[in-house]
Amino acid sequence: MAAGGGEELRGVRRSMAINMARVHASVVPATVFDEVDIEEWWAPAAEVTLRLIRAIAAGVAAAPALNAWFDGATLRRRLHRAIDLGIAVDTADGLLVPVLRNISAAEPGELRRRLDALMHSV
């Protein structure tokens, strides 16, 4: 234990804490959520994940403002064509968020392979 009674962060947890503090200082927190009935989507869990990823890509394509960066210093926003999606994964070392890049450009089979590779890499 470190002085003051707390646990000193090391490794992945330390990197995660440093990045979270950096991002918190420069990113406006925002959450978009909706409820969806997927009861009729009978499929293995992995295929439901793939369908959700494709649904997110379709939603962002329909509302491009969901895929933008805001620059507070210049008061400008930049819309992005490529849709990159972070997938939160709970690991023994803490929460990791690997990113699937350009999900809207990937065919379902390619997206499935990329998702599988991502899940096996964490």
Which burial class, exposed, middle or buried, applies to 57 when counting CB atoms under 10 A from its CB (0-12, 13-18, 19+)?
A: buried
Whole-number Å distance between alpha carbons of 81 and 60? 10
- Secondary structure class of 3 (helix, strand, coil): coil
Q: pTM value?
A: 0.69
- pLDDT tens readout for residues 48-99: 888 889 989 999 999 998 898 887 778 888 999 999 998 888 888 778 888 9
Q: Are 88 and 99 in contact (CB under 8 A)?
A: no
**Extents of the domains making up the chain:** 11-121
CATH tag for 11-121 (out of 3.20.20.70, 3.30.559.10, 4.10.80.40, 3.20.10.10): 3.30.559.10
